[in-house]
Structure 1
Amino acid sequence: MASRHVSQVIGCTPGDVYEFAADPANLPRWAAGLANSAVTVDGDRLLAESPMGQVTVRFVPHNDLGVLDHDVTLPSGTVVNNPVRVLSHPNGAEILFTVRQIELSADEFERDLDMVAEDLRRLKELLEAQ
């Protein structure tokens, strides 16, 4: 199984990036690969309609470390762990997302990498426009 890191520098404080990205209500605004409509909160789970079908998402608890790791349960039942960090950067913040090749062909993996990169670019645009 391959893993690759996708990152984006954002001209905002790490705290602002973390708070925006951690808010389930904001996911459909920037994370189209995960949620393409409103997210339903069910206890510690988020239920979202994604391009793959309905997924269940569990984020790590809110923290001061910039950790946005989350497990996504796919419609197939496979659970994918997604490590995500918001780091300090000389130009503001950098968000780093580790993409893992689970149940994906090489072409599908490249498509997922492109989707994550696009999601992070959208996050940058939204935050820098505020």
Structure 2
Amino acid sequence: MISRHVSVVIAAPPEAVYDYLADVDNLTAWAAGLASGFTRDGDDLLAESPMGTVRVRFVPRNDFGVLDHDVTLPAGTVVNNPLRVLAHPDGAEVVFTVRQLGMTDEEFERDCAAVAADLESVRAAFG
């Protein structure tokens, strides 16, 4: 299985970037897959996707910059998405690990490009 770390450096304090990403009310501003919105179901978020309803669950807020989240697909497959906010000499670095899993090479490249675009949206939120 291939993994790729997609990242962006943001000229803002890591704590501010983490707080922005951890606030689920900001998701639709930066996560294109949730652009149409979501509903809350306890600690989970439900979002409509081309595959049907997906369930998203983030790890609890923490002091380590960890924003990992599991996405449960309509067929029941759970995809773990590592997401971190790290201190960087120029502010913060946001790192999202994309795993190829069962995707074709073309699908994987498309997924990585989509994640990169999402991270650029995060950077844009900080000017």
Name the TM-score, length of structure 2 as normaliser.
0.94
Q: C-alpha distance in 2, partners of 1:102/1:28?
A: 25
Which whole-Å CA distance do the structure 2 matches of 1:124 and 1:51 have between them? 26
Report the CA distance between 1:48 and its aligned residue: 1.4
Paired with 1:127 and 1:61, the residues of 2 have a C-alpha distance of: 24
Mapping 1:50-129, distance limit 5 Å: 50-128=49-127
Contiguous gaps of at least 5 residues in structure 1: none
Task: Give the letter aligned to residue 9 of structure 1.
Answer: V
Residue pair 1:3, 1:98 contacting (<8 A) in 2 also: yes
Closer, same or farther: CA 24–99 of 1 in aligned 2, 3 Å: same
Shift of 1:49: 2.2
Q: Percent identity?
A: 62
Shift of 1:79: 0.6
Q: Where in structure 2 are there 5+ consecutive unaligned residues? A: none
- Return structure 1 stretches of 4+ with deviation > 4 angstroms: none
Q: Deviations over 1:37-85 (max 9, x none)?
A: 2221211111112354321001000111100000001123211001111
Letter in 2 for 1:108: E
Is the contact made by 1:3 and 1:101 (CA closer than 8 Å) also made in structure 2?
Answer: yes
Superposed, 1:16-35 pairs within 5 Å as: 16-33=16-33, 35=34
Give the alignment's TM-score, normalised by structure 1: 0.92
Match of 2:11 in 1: 11
**Alignment length (residue pairs):** 127
Q: CA RMSD, aligned part only? A: 1.2
